[in-house]
Structure 1
Amino acid sequence: MYLFENPVLQRELLVNLRTKRAFVLLAVYQLLLATVVVAAWPNDQRLDLTTNPPSATKLVNLFFLGQYVIASLMAPSFAAGTIAGEKERRTYEMLLASPMRPGAIVLGKIVASLTHIGMLIIGSLPIIVLCLPLGGVSVYEVLAAYLGLIISVVLFGAIGVLCSSYFPRTSSALVVSYLAILPLVIGACVFWASLATEGDLRLKLSVIVLPAFGLAAVLLMGANAAGRMLYPPDVGSEGKEVIDLERETNEAVGLVIQPDQFPDRLFAPPRKDEMMADGANPVYDKELHSEIFSQGTLMLRLVIQISILLAIPMMGVFLFFQQQHAPWFAVYVIVFNMLVGPSFLAGSITSERERQTLDLLLTTPLSPMQILWGKFVVRFRISLVLTSFLLWPLVLGAGLNTHFWSNWPSVLGMFLIVGMVCLVNCVIALACSLFSSKTSIALLTTYAVLLLLYVVPPALSTLARTLEMSPETVVMADWTGVASPFSALFSLPLNEQIAPENPEVNVGNVPAVLGYFAFSTLLLAAATAAMFLRLKIRQGLSEG
């Protein structure tokens, strides 16, 4: 019953692999990898295959790094909804009452969620086989890389399933999964790139150390998730967990959120003990006091603790020891907001549809602007406060490190870029929620749009320079960076006190920074207008 006769596994495989999304995703995945190979294919007319051509080695490294990043982004999206999805579909109670062992349920969920990604990884083998005749890497290194990739995906899937067992919503489980996986992905990429010239050492670590670590971690997380299903918490009607906020606060390990104290009350308001004032926005009041915190504070506590834990070493490295790389700390803050901010806004409208209360909301005398404003302000406030916690290290670094004193305009530019990112992320998430039918679809759509806007332009620029393309192509790739805050951050000028050995950083590219703010302003105006028209027309919004 654990594997071959597992009804959970059979059902999940039939449902997941027969959807149109499975075929579309496989095609897109192959196209992305093929595009990377074609773009990085060596331009040398003659290669000496008796040695290791650097162009061929660079091609293989780009292929594996690209595949690793794509797979690590996809694994949590499949696994984070395995158990939380049962709670959202109100079938979790039936699953607990089934005669299946909890270990069999967890194993079936993990295998089913990762089977599709396994097919994608196996499907990429013909592409890498085309690269082997070029040299630069041995067959054993390729096999070790695929072994490390598969183990990493299984590990990330187990993290997603573990988070899914603790949270009642897929969005919360997905955000915590990404935050837990983020340092692992960064460490793996640094490991692969730093040991590029040490093929034997990289091979041994990938074959011996990584499998042992991954297997132990997967077993521990699987046992924890199975134990939680064996002794589940109190379950109310329709399989929803009954959460006592006072008991959760008393039993919390580490950070404790106290709504009656500052700064906790900024994002976790105290319990309401008075009537709503006349003329107040009921949507705002409802979102602030019941919607956000009705499922407990576990997600907020984990988000704050994990983010601060990662921010402390980054502050020491990028703001004191290697201040010429100071924009990388702002990159971390933006990545944090990309993961956390949309999780609050992506369910703002779709949750009404899922609870079948959207028709009631649309028939109220509230104007579209009141509905959007009430939904947006509360959730944007939480996202902004959580992100501002990570900006304090930047304030401390700029204040204590005298090298930043003469670069205060660039430091101010970092704060402005982070603020614009918070606003853009939340508006895009709200728009995706308005145009989607489910919260999970809205959240994944938001992530896809943000990756397209933020990551693709600097990736194109870096690829054009790495492959030594024509100057015209490099300039065109650089101008796509007006959509990306990452490109804007690295376009801020820094004087010789911070970057004495890099004259390009000293000059910067102020027009690119201004172009980013102009593009973001137009994007905000277009998204707001589209949402307003959607709510005003109200066609296709009814859940009926």
Structure 2
Amino acid sequence: MRINPVLRNEAKITVRNKRFTLMLFFYIVVVSIGVVLYYKSFTSEIYVNGLYMQSTTTLYVLMSIVQAIFLIFMVPSLTSSAISSEREKQTLDILLSTKLTPFQIIIGKLLSSSLKVVMLIICTIPLYGICSLIGGVSIVNILELAGFFIVNTIFVGAIGMLISTYAKTSKVSTTITYFLVLFIYIGILIIAYILFMFSMRNNYMNPNIKVNPIIYLSPVTGFISLLSNQLGARETIFYFFQYSGISSYTEYISIGIQLVLSAIFLYLASVKLNPLKKERVKRKSKKLKE
């Protein structure tokens, strides 16, 4: 099996990098300490009143939310400068002169950056496993959550790769990527909520008002739906989903949208990176001028 040369080279650099090893170590240590302290706060209840099962699901939700926020802020920092940094170091032309196609370069950069985050996700699975041992959360739930995070990582990484091919500097690329990611995650939810409230105000006599479909573009919707379906809390904690007409399969819709958009972003990034396209554009512009 032939491994992408860019991925292989970046993986070697990552393995030899002490910073990533220390980051992985301290991340696991901090999360582990948080889990231990959380369960220690329930020690008295376990011995006096028996095991408090709700504490397991609460820990599962808290860990999921913290890790999701961590991924939102970490992934753009790893992918948003993948191409722009090569341009700043003046090594992009050398990379393009190899036998690799622009798409292979983009995929290699994306996978090498996402691999670091995937390792963090995999390393936290044993901590989620504590919830499964005590009860309330199954192994299947944990694997579904990890899979959702991996898809989410690829989606955010694809956004960073696209911006990185257009931006000339890493600072500009990182800034735009963070702004765009926050808009997709939070901004779309705010817009969908405003449109929903506006519709309720103008049609307050209509009980069948539905939320705008743009809400499916935000991965947060799929994340909330995934947790609510796993914990059986769709009709209680997430009553708004049922009331506003959001599908019960929102997590799968969200995964599908993220994968499709990721493919589109990566294709656009490879087209932008293709040096032959620039030559064709120049030739066409010259012909038009003549």
Shared topology, TM-score over 0.5? yes
Deviation at 1:497, TM superposition (A): 7.1
Which residue of 164, 173, 182 maps to 1:442?
Answer: 173
What is the deviation of 1:429? 1.5
- In structure 2, runs of 5+ residues without a counterpart are 40-52, 280-290
Equivalent residue, structure 1, for 2:87: 353
Aligned CA distance change for structure 1 residues 301 and 475 (closer, same or farther; 3 Å): farther
Q: How does 1:57-456 map to 2 (within 5 A)?
A: 281-290=4-13, 292=14, 296-298=17-19, 300-302=21-23, 304-306=25-27, 308-310=29-31, 312-313=33-34, 316=38, 321=55, 323=57, 326-397=60-131, 399-405=132-138, 411-456=142-187
Aligned to 2:255: 517
Do the aligned partners of 1:482 and 1:512 also contact (CA within 8 Å) in 2? Answer: yes
Partner of 1:391, secondary structure, is helix
Assess, with a 3 A threshold, how the Cα gap between structure 1 residues 395 and 463 changes in structure 2: closer, same or farther.
Answer: farther
| 1:528 counterpart residue number | 266
Per-residue deviation, residues 370-413 of structure 1 (Å, max 9, x unmatched): 3223322222211210232233322321x1232234xx765554
Paired residues of 1:334 and 1:421 also in contact (CA < 8 A): no
Shift in Å, 1:432: 1.7
Question: What one-letter code is carried by the residue in structure 1 that aligns with 2:137?
Answer: F
Which residue identity is paired with 2:153? Answer: C
Kindly provide the amino acid, as one letter, of the partner of residue 516 in structure 1: S
Q: Report the count of equivalent residues.
A: 257
Q: 1:536 Cα deviation (Å)?
A: 2.8
CA shift, 1:424, in A, is 0.7
Distance in 2 between residues matched to 1:500 and 1:483, nearest whole Å: 23
Output the CA distance in 2 between the equivalents of 1:298 and 1:392: 23
Q: Which residue identity is paired with 1:297? A: K
- Once the two structures are superposed, residues 255-308 of structure 1 have per-residue CA deviations (whole angstroms, 9 ceiling, x without a partner) of xxxxxxxxxxxxxxxxxxxxxx9x765433432334x467x5236524651464
1:484 partnered with 2:218? yes
Give the AA of the match of 2:113. R
- Larger RCO: 1 or 2 (CA < 8 Å, sep 6+): 2
Shift of 1:353: 0.9
Deviation at 1:420, TM superposition (A): 1.2
* 1:483–1:516 CA contact under 8 A, matched in 2: yes
CA distance 1:453–1:360, change in 2 (3 Å): same
Which amino acid letter does the alignment assign opposite residue 416 of structure 1?
G
CA distance in 2, matches of 1:532, 1:495: 38
Counterpart residue type for residue 298 of structure 1: R
Is the Cα–Cα contact under 8 Å of residues 121 and 146 in structure 2 kept in the other structure? no
Alignment of structure 1 residues 503-514 onto 2, 5 Å: 504=239, 509-514=247-252
Q: TM-score, normalised by structure 2?
A: 0.70
Q: 1:439 to 1:300 in 2, by over 3 A?
A: farther
Aligned residue for 1:491, secondary structure, equals: helix
- The answer to whether the 8 A contact 1:304-1:386 is kept is no
Percent identity of the aligned residues?
Answer: 17
The amino acid of 1:394's aligned partner reads Y
Residue aligned with 2:136, SS: helix
Q: Distance in 2 between matches of 1:428 and 1:447?
A: 10
Residues 307-353 of structure 1 deviation map (CA, whole Å, 9 limit, x = unaligned): 64156536848x95272684443222222112222222222211211
Name the SS for the 2:249 alignment partner.
helix
